[in-house]
Amino acid sequence: MFPTGFVWGAATSAYQIEGALTADGRGRSIWDTFCAQDGRIVGGDNAEVAIDHYNRYREDVKLMADLGLTAYRFSVSWPRIQPDGSGAYSGKGLDFYKRLVDELLSYGIDPWLTLYHWDLPQALEDAGGWPSRDTSKRFADFAATVHAELGDRVRNWSTVNEPWCAAFLGYASGEHAPGRREPAAALRAAHHLNLAHGLAVQAMRAQNADSLIGGCVNVYPVTPATGSEADQDAARRIDGLQNRFFLDALLKGSYPEDVLADLSHLSDMEFIQDGDLATIAAPIDMLLINYYSRFTVSGAPGGAASAAAAPTDSGSPWIGSEHVGFVNGGRPVTSMGWEVDDSGLREMLRRIADEYPRIPLYISENGAAYDDVIGEDGTVHDPDRVAYIDAHLRICHAAIESGIPLQGYFAWSLMDNFEWAWGYGKRFGLVYVDYETQARTMKSSALWYADTIRHGGLLGRAQ
């Protein structure tokens, strides 16, 4: 049994579900531009319709209520609210999120609002994007406006979702929008995304001290393939860039010296100005953790390529460590090619609890993509996903029992949706979506999760 008050949630992001890309004055985002370019998205897919949540949000909130969710984590679309990323705000865009929040509250579902899940207004990218310091300031202004409009009914806020992805997949590998392959620019982007978090925290805190505000990071335990010096150094490098660069900044107010040394050939770090790290480490109320898998790495010459290759042609996101290979550790994999390793969640929760200042923790994303199909009887049977979530929730329970301040879990994702560069070919949802008809069908994982929530815990190991 989980403690009374444990948060049972599911998560989505605006660009992946909303559609309606030109409705009510919404501006253009970097993902709109990216999807329009040949070869960027598997199958040439785009998010013009996605799962039509903009028009079907009431139906979707009813699904959440049927699941028994106590919380729903969603993001707002920056270009829907502020079409050019600066200047005028769209009243219609803000009104959509007010309607969504009111609908959630009418069912007793707590709204958890994420301010940025990668859909930067194209106008800001044209002005330099995240490698430009000014984008951080624009984000703080945006955060303050959304908070002023919704802070009376939304208590839980997070700033930037997975800054690692936005910086290094967007500006180094080019796998994500805006599709640039500029390692030095990616490093500046990573810092400015961190700075945007800190500036937004300050802006929101000044408006309402009662709001609960957190940062959100995607973490991976990193294991050397062997005990060799090269493999150990590879693990140090990848852990530094994936985990410590962001955790240390948010929770300690510093960047790891070894990581800066690894990257010194790219920059003299002049973009890190006096006071930046203190701003980034502005006190927060919680840390949101996204966890999916473990990395096993090798620094040997000619090391194995990543077992989970990018969906389309791309460079390496591992700036300064492009030589590192990613080795298949021999574990079962999801349809994304990601290894299933619930023990890695235990490892990262313990590490964060032991190595950083104590702070409430939430699993803000955890889930798996599998090749789901609707059976002849109209049901979707997904036992692998049930087993995945069950195993990770058992780790969560054990963590709580051991004294780790873990207070909630959000499954990724509530519904099948647009999976970024993978298009519609990968399904993470608890709810199956027929993309032709937009019909929603609860998978067996949704029914299992609803039963778990109803009982406040796990009744027996999933089969």
Burial of 5 per CB tally in 10 Å (0-12, 13-18, 19+):
exposed
101, 156 in Cβ contact below 8 A? no
Tokens of 80: 């829907």
- Catalytic, out of 162, 175, 339, 419: 162
Residue 59 bears catalytic tag: no
- Catalytic, out of 103, 149, 347, 365: 365
Beta bridge partners of 121: 29
Residue 419 bears catalytic tag: no
Q: What is the CA radius of gyration of the chain?
A: 21
108: region left, alpha or beta (phi > 0 left; psi from -120 to 50 alpha): left
Q: What angle do CA 338, 407, 215 make, to 5 degrees?
A: 65
Q: How many residues does the chain have?
A: 463
Residues carrying an active site annotation: 162, 365
